[in-house]
Amino acid sequence: MSPRAPSLRRQLALALAGCLTGLCLAANLAFYHYVKQLSIEEFDEALQRDLETIVAMTSVHDGGNRLELDIHNHDHPEFQDHDEAKYYHISHGDGRCHLRSRSLNEDSLPVLTETHGEIVMQDLVLPDGRRGRVVSTRSHMGEEGAAVRHAIHFALAISRDSLDRILRMQRWCAIGVGAVLILASVGIALALTKRSFRKIDHFSRHLREIDFDSLGERLPEEGLPVELAPLAARFNEALARLERGAQREIRFNANVAHELRTPVAELRAIAEVGLEECTAGEMENPSGYFEDAGELAHRMGRLVDTISSLNRSGLGRECLTIEQTDLVEVLRRAWKPHAAKAEERRLAVSMDTPPRCLVETDASLGAALVNNLMSNAVSHTPEGGVVSFRIDGEALELVVANTNEDLEERDLQHLVEPFWQKDASRSDRTHFGIGMALVDAYARLLRIRYELSLSEDGVFAVSLRFPAEWGRD
């Protein structure tokens, strides 16, 4: 048992959910990183402003040997000793003097730059073991009225606990929003898929309701999406072909029953009459009964053989032997059995053929096809009519034409239908109406294209075009 193909509905839902989830998560991740960067920049800007405040409040005295920071605790409580206190460290460029916050004790903050005016920030571990962030710069300062300027290093650090709390909150918010977006994406994908496939489900329900007894019904084409409308049209065309095929099958069965019912009834009548005469002792010459019975049996045998041949060719069960065959020779041999009947009916027969015409086909089935065409032409041409055969060697085409006084243009579509006869009363007991059906079956089996035509002056023609190479045409 071959594995079932994955559901289109499931594939579409998964693809849509995956795309929506990916887009939402990407947008959520980008927004999270943007807000995170914004929070860090805001934190750094506040730290940098405090550093600028320290730089502005620092002064140099005693020829650069003493540094003073004019900060009073009541004006700047952030530099007092508490959990959120800021750490500062000010030092001379050559390390001669240091000025640090009491929270640093004997520790120092790193000097991150030797370039005047450059501001550098980075993370570090504070003396109390907490994670922090430090900003450092180098500035040239001098005493008031003095020309000498001294390189002073400034460093300011603070715990990043508040920043980390904000970032954790943002991270959990992003995770929560991401989870909601995933669930929403899956729900939207399922809803959109269900809505999109609603027409397909409706389409499928209509198909399930169609069976052999309702082949006349058609799928609705109005209101269907653009993608389904051509499919519905093709299904309706297929249903029309199936309906025509079912009608032909019904007529075929009815015609077979009719063709067999008549000779069986006649055979039964002959047997009953013969039995009555035998019982009464009145039968003098039984040969007449046996001749009639033999003729009926022969007719039924021909009918069964013809139906069997039609069935085998229609199902492709005939064994083909494809070889180069001279179509002219096939035509001349097939004509010999019909020549006497054509002469008896005073038919004007003409053959326009080249010396040879080689085609690739099965010689036996090709001869049977040509024989059926000749039989139909001779049998259905009125006495004194014209029958012609023409072979075009370049086009590999055989045309069989004959005059016919009964056919009409509308009858051409029924000619290849088994048991169809122009005479609805079926008064002609020598034919079953299967000849052209066999021609159609053999032509399809041999890949021969054929065309039926009826001219205005009543000439019926069958044109057969053989393939130039087997399997190519």
Is residue 247 scored above 60 in pLDDT?
Answer: yes
Q: Name which of 237, 186, 193 is nearest 12 in CA terms.
A: 193
Give 376's contacts (C-beta < 8 A, 6+ positions apart).
435, 436, 439
Tens-place pLDDT, residues 85-105: 688 888 887 766 678 887 777
Q: Name which of 437, 416, 186, 420 is nearest 308 in CA terms.
A: 437
Model confidence at 257, in pLDDT bands (50, 70, 90)? low
CA 366 remoteness from chain centre: 41
pLDDT value at residue 38: 92
Name residue 471's amino acid.
Answer: G
What whole-number distance in Å separates Cα of residue 71 and Cα of residue 61?
A: 16
Which domains are assigned to the chain?
28-168 (3.30.450), 229-313 (1.10.287.130), 318-465 (3.30.565.10)
Q: At what angle do helices 229-280 and 287-314 cross, to 10 degrees?
A: 160
Q: Cα dist. 265→3, 122, 261, 303, 392 in Å? A: 55, 113, 6, 16, 48
Average predicted confidence (pLDDT) for the chain: 78
pLDDT value at residue 390: 92
Q: Is 436 exposed, middle or buried (0-12, 13-18, 19+ CB in 10 A)?
A: buried
Tens-place pLDDT, residues 112-171: 888 888 899 999 988 888 899 999 998 888 777 677 788 888 999 988 888 889 999 989
Which segment of 201-215, 320-334, 442-456 scores lowest on mean pLDDT? Answer: 201-215
Q: Facing residues of 217 across strands?
A: none
Name residue 73's amino acid.
Answer: N
What whole-number distance in Å separates Cα of residue 160 and Cα of residue 133?
A: 6
Which conformational region is residue 213 in: left (phi greater than 0), alpha (psi within -120 to 50 degrees), or beta? alpha
Give 448's contacts (C-beta < 8 A, 6+ positions apart).
361, 369, 442, 464, 465, 466, 467
